[in-house]
Structures are given as structure tokens and as C-alpha cells.
Homo-oligomer: A and B are copies of this chain.
């Protein structure tokens, strides 16, 4: 098994659903679940985001659920204003960051850093800030629940 890498910091131009913009550095010590999505991606709407909401409902304050809006197509459609309306209509209440764009690149910064293959992608960060999973597409709830319980059981910094 490969040694887990430190999870790259999120580079976000704007946060919604929070007045206190999170960073992975400040969340050190907690398990962080990041749902990378696009608001007009059917698989995100049908599977990825509802699963992130179920994680939030099931695990409550034991872990942190974040959304990351990694727009890599239809940029003119998926603006922060549109995203805010989307989050309202779909009752998404966890903090969602807009992945920062960069000149001459359709792929936003954090998406590049993590090497995401598309949306939805699920990222799991352990209490020590290391990236433990980076899964493109659907993942079933039984396996995800087990992974989260295992991460929650690890002491912070234990394997540093």
C-alpha cells in the first residue's frame, strides 16, 4: 500500500454556506469529506451530492463535509450566483467553495492539484491532513461508511 500524500490545500475564490472559510490546515485533527462537483453534472445531482448530504446527516459533527465546485466546462453557466441558487434549491447546507480559476486553463486550480478525473469525485482527508481516497464516479454507501469509520477511529497525527 502506498504511503498517503498530504492533501493539497484548497484554493477557493469564494465560499458559500459559511461565514468562516475553512482550510485543510485549520481542519487538521478532523476527518474531512470533500465532494467535488459541478452543479450541471447529472451524476453529481443524482448521486454524489445526495450521498454527501447523507454523510452529513449520518455522521453529524463527527466529521466535516465540504463541497468544492470544480467548474471545468460551461463556465458561463455555472457562476457563483447560479451556484448559490442551486444550493438553495437542493437544500445543500454544508460549506461549498468555488475552486479558483486561472488564466488560460479550463481546469480550476484545486482540481489540477488533486488530478481529478472529472465530477463527481470524492476526497477523504484524514485527521493528519493526508489524502486517503480520491474516487471518481459512484461509490457505494456501505464501503464509504466503513472507510469513514476507519478514518474516524485513527488518532490525530498517529502515523506522522
Contact = CB atoms under 8 A, between A and B. Distances in A.
Nearest to A62: B146
Consensus secondary structure, chain A interface:
helix
Interface string A5-49: 000000000000000000000000000000000001110010000
21 contacts: A40-B85, A42-B90, A54-B142, A59-B146, A74-B82, A74-B88, A74-B89, A77-B81, A77-B86, A78-B82, A141-B145, A142-B144, A144-B145, A145-B146, A145-B147, A145-B148, A146-B148, A147-B149, A149-B153, A150-B153, A153-B153
**What's the number of copies of this chain in the assembled complex?**
4
Interface string A46-64: 0000000011001100000
- The number of chain A residues touching the other chain, given as a range, is 35 or more
Interface of A: 40-42, 45, 54-55, 58-59, 73-74, 76-79, 81-82, 84-86, 88-90, 140-150, 152-153
